Structure 1
């Protein structure tokens, strides 16, 4: 297959991944399958590493865009990001020992639960109800960061959506504040994974940087739309992305004969 065509296709995938990721997370749903389709013979760890290089620029940009309009709750985001760094590092390390596909059935069940709960709770995340004491909120954020950080380093698709749902459910944030906080945590998970992968596996740096530029353009577009249309738009996108993730994981399980 012609490399120019591959680069164009992956660039377009990275743009749409950046757009989706900036709003509710889930960009890995687009970028990771695109990389696997383009390089089926390449080691999965190398493709996950390249995906992280492409993602971190867009995620950082989205965090900056949000921070100009939405106050970042650093008392929560700080401990959560530190824990996410640790979790993601060990998640990336685990890729060498366990196939990430083992997680598919569990993630599918969790995503179905998230979707059903969000559909039933019509007012979930539409209004801020942050009533958790600061000390406890930091501990909860740390637990969320550590758990989902490990998942992101190990597998990844839906990380932003899981961050957002858990921040809303356990800390009472609205979708917009949960989204900006999730971006901070996601930057940390990407940074840790890149640090581990770059020292231990081959990273396709040139391709990753090309995709990063496209991801950045998509992230800027997505974050501006989210800020313009508010929590209702973000909630709708959240449900769409989670539903698409469920369909994709279910299809993968059927095809693989799990």
Structure 2
């Protein structure tokens, strides 16, 4: 009996469709490794906007990837206040917060209707131990997640609201680029209120910040649609606020 021929192109398209390309496509994984990874992926039913993927205290059973749609991860303070601790775009792993003690430390809530791939963590770990390329790429993805957490702390440490907002938009544009979408024009999946909770700012402050960036010609805002008009200035505001302030004083 002839050995069935595996259509690598079809498998790669399937992997890209379920947004696991961060794990397999950049890692140089061979046909067998791709087939192993594809075999454990579970396609869940669509998750409605506002629906919870997992809750604080749930055991780590799987990690998730949104094929489309986006999520926010939130924690609730003792006085019942919601704090947004992260946003997750299509193709980014969700659920890595539970890697430490194998219990989730936050809730994951859909920002939009989303189609999700579920990857059982134990099986993923087993395959990763057998496929060096996947193991290496998984560590890179975990590293990016840690980097985003560090970026969030950096945002919260900024004194000026304008700096926090610029750093947020700059980082979001980079993430859109990384998942193969436009980093010059994109639609925000999250509300202004979510952004305010993420940046530790009042809603009115966030709205004024967006308006100021638009008036300065850095971005163009149309509802949730953002167009970056002056990437150099956005980068300067995000990473070199002193230079941006000096430039503004000169122009005034």
Instruction: Return the TM-score normalized by structure 1.
Output: 0.29
Ranked by relative contact order (alpha carbons within 8 Å, sequence separation 6 or more), the top structure is 1
More helix as a share of residues: 1
Instruction: Return the TM-score normalized by structure 2.
Output: 0.29
Which of structures 1 and 2 has the bigger CA Rg? 2
